[in-house]
């Protein structure tokens, strides 16, 4: 099925999917990543009503910027765009694994098991603190072609999705740190 994408592209140029983004990004990332203190990080993101090429171009540039910054997830508010769009790749060391592009994501089920793990954020460089989150989630979203999708996630992926979805509500991981000891580090 290697020709799948090129066939799709021939069918409709207006609906061309995102071409593969190299995980080895060098040079200046296309998008600036906003940092703690920038107001856009505290706003509530808006749903995307139409998944068109402008959204796909944005997702592609977000992937390039995320890989350049050595991140595993990036939310649109972090690049100053107030929209419900996330890119995630917890398999950044595996060049063949496809990244996830989540549009209008909604968590439909939180598992009952909690775990604590150290998180960092491209908008808060150099800070790593333990955050408690549920180990498993179920979610629904639209993919980069606007198709409705459902998935289950656990482990680092479930954590990363929850962290990135917090950005859509103006929440940063440091807001969720409950241990005073951790905050005083």
Catalytic residues: 164
Give the distance, in angstroms, between the CA of residue 55 and the centroid of all CA atoms in the same chain. Answer: 14
Distance CA 115, CA 7 (A): 44
Rounded least distance, CB 10 to Zn ion, Å: 38
62 binds Zn ion per the rule CB under 5 A = no
Taking the least distance from each CB to Zn ion, the nearer of 90 and 121 is: 121
Alpha helices by DSSP H, 13-147: 53-68
Taking the least distance from each CB to Zn ion, the nearer of 121 and 139 is: 121
Which residues in 89-185 belong to E strands, given as ranges? 100-110, 114-121, 124-134, 136-142, 148-154
Q: Tell me the residue number closest to Zn ion, measured at CB.
A: 121
- Interacting positions 112-151 with Zn ion (CB under 5 A): 121
Rounded least distance, CB 123 to Zn ion, Å: 5
Class of residue 143 by CB neighbours under 10 A (exposed 0-12, middle 13-18, buried 19+): middle
Taking the least distance from each CB to Zn ion, the nearer of 121 and 137 is: 121
Interface with Zn ion (CB under 5 A): 121
């Amino acid at each position: 099925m290697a020709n799948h994408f090129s066939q799709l592209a021939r069918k409709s140029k207006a609906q061309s999917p995102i071409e593969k983004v190299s995980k080895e990004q060098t040079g200046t990332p296309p998008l600036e990543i906003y940092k703690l203190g920038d107001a856009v990080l505290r706003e509530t993101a808006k749903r995307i009503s139409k998944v068109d090429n402008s959204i796909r171009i944005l997702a592609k540039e977000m992937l390039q910027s995320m890989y350049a910054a050595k991140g595993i997830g990036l939310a649109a508010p972090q690049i100053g765009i107030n929209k419900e769009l996330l890119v995630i790749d917890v398999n950044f060391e595996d060049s063949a694994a496809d990244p996830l592009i989540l549009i209008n994501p909604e968590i439909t089920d939180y598992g009952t098991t909690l775990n604590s793990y150290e998180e960092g954020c491209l908008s808060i460089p150099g800070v790593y603190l333990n955050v408690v989150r549920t180990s498993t989630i179920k979610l629904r979203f639209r993919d980069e072609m606007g198709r409705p999708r459902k998935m289950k996630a656990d482990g680092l992926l479930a954590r990363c999705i929850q962290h990135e979805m917090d950005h859509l509500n103006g929440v940063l991981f440091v807001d969720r740190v409950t241990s005073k000891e951790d905050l005083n580090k």
